[in-house]
Amino acid sequence: MNELIKKRRSVRHFKKEELSDDIVKDILEAGRWAPSPKNRQHWHFIVVRGDAKKEMLILMQKGVERTEKGEGLINVPKEWIADAYRTIHIMQDAPVTIFLVNPEGKDLRFSWDVEEKMREMSDIQAIGAVAQNMALRALEKGVGSLWIGNIFFAYEELKSWIGDGEMVLAMSFGYPQKVPDKGYRKPLKELVTYRD
């Protein structure tokens, strides 16, 4: 397990080869075994491929262009926009992108009270666990993955395309063409405070 955890890298170059239904199901299966608050399992998976992928990419492009014009949810530096365009190309190469939706989640623009915020934070933590389970299982099966936060540049477009529920994250999958070198992590001594 430790080896898998350390071996996982964000893959940004995928082969054209499709992923079989069995592999996709296997990855989803790993996701659904994530823990969740009160075991509510408040997640829905939207598996995007084929023609739906084309629709998704058009919407991503539209959203990033809108954000670039300063009409997005937030204003971001130019480099972030360039990064978002790069991400669109990666999603184009990846045969499958899975969106994770929280059926009980609230719109980003919602003004939260404390209870709602706490609930949302817990829900998002659990959906993060789903994503990591999927990434690790994929790696075990020789499949690369990329976690995609840049979907939020196309928040309105993708949200209405997805329909009910709140879009939390997306992850693209495919057989890796190129895997980045060993990753970098801050040393533990910079990250940990022990209180004995």
Binding site for ligand FMN (CB under 6 A): 9-10, 12, 87, 146-150, 180, 183
SS3 annotation, the chain: CHHHHHHCCECCEECCCCCCHHHHHHHHHHHHCCCCHHHCCCCEEEEECHHHHHHHHHHHHHHHHHHHCCCCCCCCCHHHHHHHHHHHHHHHHCCEEEEEEECCCCCCCCCCCHHHHHHHHHHHHHHHHHHHHHHHHHHHCCCEEEEECHHHHHHHHHHHHHCCCEEEEEEEEECEEECCCCCCCCCHHHHCCCCC
User: Please, what is the minimum distance in Å from the beta carbon of residue 21 to ligand FMN?
Assistant: 26
Question: Is the Cβ of residue 149 or residue 163 nearer to ligand FMN in the bound state?
Answer: 149
Q: How far is the CB of 20 from ligand FMN (least distance, A)?
A: 25
Of the pair 152, 161, the CB lying nearest ligand FMN is at 152
Return the number of the residue (9 or 159) whose C-beta is nearest ligand FMN: 9
Closer residue to ligand FMN, CB minimum distance, 28 or 124: 124
**What's the min distance (Å) between Cβ of 50 and ligand FMN?**
22
Quote the least distance from Cβ 149 to ligand FMN, whole Å. 3
Least distance (Å) between residue 5 CB and ligand FMN: 10
Instruction: Give the residue among 46, 59, 89 at the shortest CA–CA distance from 153.
Output: 59
CB nearer to ligand FMN: give 79 or 196: 79
The rounded distance, in Å, linking the Cα atoms of 42 and 152 is 20
Q: Which residue is nearest to ligand FMN (CB)?
A: 149
